[in-house]
Amino acid sequence: MSALGSVTVPCPVCSVPLEIPATVSMGSVDYDKNEVALSVQGDPTAANEHVAAHATDEAGEQR
């Protein structure tokens, strides 16, 4: 079972919230511990571009 959505995390440089598309899947169940394993897969493209823009800004170059 999986669900498509997004997660919002702050930029590590400027703290602007970045929305990252993600899929969360449920994996195995440990009935002894009442725990479910979760897997999160996301597309960090937009976040990577945002952070790369900070590196460009710091180098004094134009975006």
Domain count, the chain: 1
Quick one: pLDDT band at residue 63, thresholds 50, 70, 90?
very low
- Using alpha carbons, select from 42, 44, 51 the residue that is nearest to residue 13: 51
pTM: 0.60
Determine the pLDDT at residue 60. Answer: 61
CA atoms within 13 A on the CB side of 48: 5
Rg value, the chain, Cα: 17
Residue 17 in domain: yes
Q: Are 63 and 56 in contact (CB under 8 A)?
A: yes
Determine the pLDDT at residue 17. Answer: 96
The residue type of 35 is E
Burial group, residue 12, by CB count within 10 angstroms (0-12, 13-18, 19+): exposed
Q: Which domain holds residue 13?
A: 2-58
Q: Are 49 and 23 in contact (CB under 8 A)?
A: no
Mean pLDDT for the chain overall: 87
